[in-house]
Structure 1
Amino acid sequence: MTDSVSLKPDLGRFGVWTFGAPKPEQAVEIEKLGYGALWIGGSPAGDLNYVEPILEQTETLQVATGIVNVWTAPAGEVAEAYHRVENAYPGRFLLGIGIGHPEHTDEYRKPYDVLVSYLDALDAAKVPTSRLVIAALGPKVLKLAAQRSAGAHPYLTTPEHTGSARELIGPTVYLAPEHKVVLSTDVDEAREIGRKTVDFYLNLSNYLNSWKRLGFTDKDVAKPGSDRLIDALVAYGTPDDIAARLNQHLEAGADHVTIQVLGGEDKLLPTLKELAGPLGLTG
């Protein structure tokens, strides 16, 4: 390892998760609202060419990947790109990596070993552990994240998962869960929107196993997902309702919560604007 893992990143209390890189002008508005970080999801490319245009247009907003897939992005390419971004915008980029899903990789062999080898390659290329987080759900990878990076970026989880993860990894490790939101007080509408996103993950064993460890049953996680499961994974209601749910992650031990707005791209900024006040942001 290249430096101490006890030095936590500082991305503020709340960030924004998007599927793919948003337009730089959207990032500018996100920064103005007071969100501390933009997480670019959807297995973005290892060249990180989408990062600089956002950092160039913003002043303090940090950009993170949530996550670069170790199966599709060579470690050497990612390390070179990391250093390029860091040299241009020191301290404003956090590299998130992850192993992906066994169902979507033809050669999904010993994923834990592949992740360890990838981390070895990043270490050799002097990517600092203090600017690296790992997608982690289960105990084994959470422990690896604590040992080999700044911390963990759990996706599609609950405050209960955050609490158990914090207990497992200890107080000094960075913990930044993602949570989905729908700004609607129409319960049926909110659940329908939530299910459209969650549906993809109901076929993936790593998520199914994670939910079962939290106490959800086979019936809960069978398609299309029980109301209980959807309500746990997707926060909805008034801005105050949603803010209260997101704050439960912080109360359970999260350092940072990254918010994924559902319902279409046109909902992104209006929802974030409505949430900024109840979340106590200063934008």
Structure 2
Amino acid sequence: MNYTRKLPATGSRVAQALCFAGIAFLTFLSLPSARGATVSLAASDVLGETSFNTGLHWSNAAAPAATNNYFTSNFILRTPPNSSSYPFGGASLTVNNTNGYSQGLLYKGSGSSGTITITNLILAGGFISHAMSAADTFRLAGNLTVASNSTIYAKQGPIILVAPVSGSATLTNLLADSASGTLSFSNASNTFTGNIVNNGYFTLLSGANLNFVIGDSGVNNRFNSPPNSTALFSGRFVFDLSSASTNLGSAWAVGTNVNQSYGSTFSADGFARVGGGNGAGVWQAATNGTFYSFDTASGVLQVVSSLSTN
């Protein structure tokens, strides 16, 4: 018998498979949830409006979605005008307005129990501001990165940064209408290493940390306060001494000690307070083969010849 074996039409089947794969890929790309998009505000929220959890003024006319990255541009993004807690639905929110106060991210909530949560909030030259009353607390959770020199303005009431703060640019805290407009850091895992220019009212809450990267003598980030400002440090200072000078007499102005005070729970990681306990005083550490001393009275860290035993 004469058997004839038919070979599969390999080329045809491969072409068909590739065709189906291409159609599937194009369909995937056409789905809104399949890829991230850059979405910006096209207009400002006015009184009573919010685009925080709606599509009101976004360029794609849709509520924030987890696959997209959002930018305020030079417009106002108001938070919802009530006392409830709200998460931002986008993958990120960048506050990049360059036109000053009342633009950028504007708090319009009420009460003291609600929390605004933004998983990836990026300050890129813009403003975060409080525009309600002294009785209304802007509690901001999630994650905050100071990517370029930016401003937080607790103008009309308190702002509490529950979110850990990261980045290395300069953060400016403007002078509020009253002492109730205090900017507070409350997270114990901040990695922020930029300068803080405190023109207003600031509190480092108990357990929260500020980081100072110490280099050659006089080289460090710092907390600056002009005479009309106040700062209360009840949390922790974390000194990164890994690249610090070891030369006797090297010194670093960490703070300006103008209207700066230290609460009873203040401490410095890796340092011990002369006399024991926590609070204001002289804090010392032995590392890098030398001795460092930080005096809260002057706000100066320095290399000393020995540790005090008093």
Same fold per superposition (TM over 0.5): no
Greater Cα radius of gyration, structure 1 or 2: 2
Which structure has the higher relative contact order (CA within 8 Å, separation 6+)?
A: 1
Higher helix share: 1
Higher strand share: 2
